[in-house]
Amino acid sequence: MIDRQSSIPARKVNYRLPLRIAHGSSVWILRFLKSTDLLILSFAGAILAGSIILMLPRSTTGGSLSFIDALFTATSAVCVTGLTVVDTGTTFTRTGQIAILSLIQLGGMGIMMFSVVLLLLSRYRVSIRDKLTIQDTLSPYTSGQISNLVKQIFLSTVVMESIGAVLLWVCSGDRDWFTSLFYSVSAFCNAGFGLQPASFMDPRNNLGINLTLCMLMVLGGLGFFTSVELARLLKPKVRDRLSLHTRLVLVVTLALLFGGALCFYAFERQNALAPEGLGGALLLSFFQSITARTTGFSAVDLRTLTNATLFLMILLMFVGASPGSTGGGIKTTTLGVLIAMARSRLRGEVNVSLFRRTIPDSTVSKSLSVLVLAFTIVTFAVLALALVELGFEPYTQSSRQFIEVFFEVVSAFASCGLSTGITPHLSRLGKLILILVMFVGRVGTLTVATAAGRGMARVKYRYAEENVMIG
């Protein structure tokens, strides 16, 4: 008889096994979580940790900060929104400002991407699950070079923020390098936080600051994948063709930027832009068109704008930035796909096409889901905030206008940060409503919907068809 056990080769003893077991036990619980759950928990954990840090006495100039204000500030920083209930420059010490800057960077780059970067630096191999998570966040395509993509994103972000900080420091003539770095990170991450709202970064009379901030805001709002693909074209002897994703992002972004700037100029030429010359008015219009979609910096007092301009900015904020970027909103590609779908349906075409490419039905369905879910969230949030802040008084006797509440909710949902000035005066319940809206808007409507409905069983049958009249 053959001894089967003797034919089995002896196993090599692995002395590093305890280390692997320790590492595996630390992430054992993550195997029971989906990537969407992990993303939500990561953002929630960062917000809670940031709130605790901001509540420390050494983080503020006037003693400890209340929990609701610290939670609101931390949520706004991690969600790169920019709405504030206290003045960042005077309320927080340098320690608190560094904490806010770190939360902005963490939220802008993304908790998941930071995790993968730390794994790469620790020389751990990135798992297939991590690759799929990063692909869903950064790239619309399947790629085996996710590790290289993440490295490029990390390095390019550091380079762009460093260049922006140097340019702002030179153009402002200020010796405080931290202020320049703060505004550079805040602009690139589309956060909208500022240290000196009335000075230093006012782009009205400084073309260098204006162009630098615009450059940082646009690059941060294009999306990581688009930026990497555009940077690849700058290399010599590279003849790569832009992907459909990048072309759609560029077309929709340019249309919104120039269209928003022209509308802002037309609506405010006889109002807020009246003291400005033609060049200054166009420059401010372009600046406000960019910041309304992504960042939240403001070069004009929003309380002096017309109702038409405020509604225009609400529409720009609702669309927001591009996928995989630091901005929020329903995203530019969602708007582009929906417009292409409407055009195809009006022409009687079965398939949705863009630039001679057919859009998958799953992408069209996802775009519709994002739009409906975003509209639903904003609608219920506006109703809730209106009831809490405006009460049951007639609108003619209300201390605030409805458009201010509408503007505030869309700004929170789209991670924009623009405000008509009512944020510091909100009640506790009103602040909690905006905290929830900021969180949902940042992690993504589809992410929340997927995490909430993962237990739903898929129906494998189909009911009989029956038509309804539309229109």
Which pLDDT tens digit goes with each residue over 32-50?
555 566 777 888 888 999 9
Long-range interactions of 48-53: CB distance < 8 A, separation 24+: 48/74, 50/74, 50/77, 50/78, 50/99, 50/100, 50/103, 53/96, 53/99
Of 171, 138, 88, nearest to 323 by C-alpha is 138
Q: Using alpha carbons only, how large is the chain's radius of gyration in Å? A: 24
| Cα 213–chain centre separation | 17
Q: How far apart are CA 162 and CA 160, in angstroms?
A: 5
Q: How far apart are CA 362 and CA 379, in angstroms?
A: 25
DSSP run (H or E) holding 339: helix 332-346
C-beta separation of 293 from 256 below 8 A: yes
DSSP state of 200: T
Torsion of CA 232, 236, 240, 242, to 10 degrees: 50
Q: And the tokens for 447? A: 């992410």
- Residue 366: how many other CB atoms lie within 10 Å: 14
Of 155, 112, 158, 151, nearest to 134 by C-alpha is 112
**pLDDT tens digits for the chain (471 residues)?**
444 444 434 444 343 333 343 344 444 444 555 556 677 788 888 899 999 999 998 999 887 788 999 999 999 999 888 888 888 888 899 999 999 999 998 888 775 565 555 555 554 555 555 555 555 555 554 445 566 667 777 788 888 899 999 998 888 776 678 888 999 998 888 888 888 754 344 556 678 888 888 889 988 888 877 887 787 777 766 666 788 888 999 999 999 999 999 999 999 999 888 888 888 888 889 989 998 887 888 888 888 899 999 999 999 999 988 887 878 888 899 999 999 999 998 888 888 888 888 888 888 888 888 898 899 999 999 999 999 988 887 877 777 788 999 999 999 999 888 888 888 888 999 999 999 999 988 887 656 655 555 555 556 677 887 778 776
Strands (E), 369-438: none
Q: How far apart are CA 89 and CA 93, in angstroms?
A: 8
pLDDT at 429: 94
pTM for the model stands at: 0.83
Q: How far apart are CA 161 and CA 180, in angstroms?
A: 10
Long-range interactions of 110-114: CB distance < 8 A, separation 24+: 110/137, 111/39, 111/42, 111/43, 111/46, 112/35, 112/38, 112/39, 112/42, 112/137, 113/137, 113/138, 113/150, 113/153, 113/154
Q: And the tokens for 229? A: 């693909």
In the block, tokens 């003045």 appear at: 87
Residue 308's SS3 state is helix
Q: How far apart are CA 70 and CA 57, in angstroms?
A: 12
Q: How far apart are CA 52 and CA 327, in angstroms?
A: 25
Distances, alpha carbon 166 to alpha carbons 88, 181, 442, in Å: 22, 8, 29
Q: And the tokens for 345? A: 């349906």
C-beta separation of 260 from 289 below 8 A: yes
Residue 237's SS3 state is coil
- Residue 372: how many other CB atoms lie within 10 Å: 11
pLDDT at 189: 87
Of 324, 294, 341, 320, nearest to 186 by C-alpha is 294
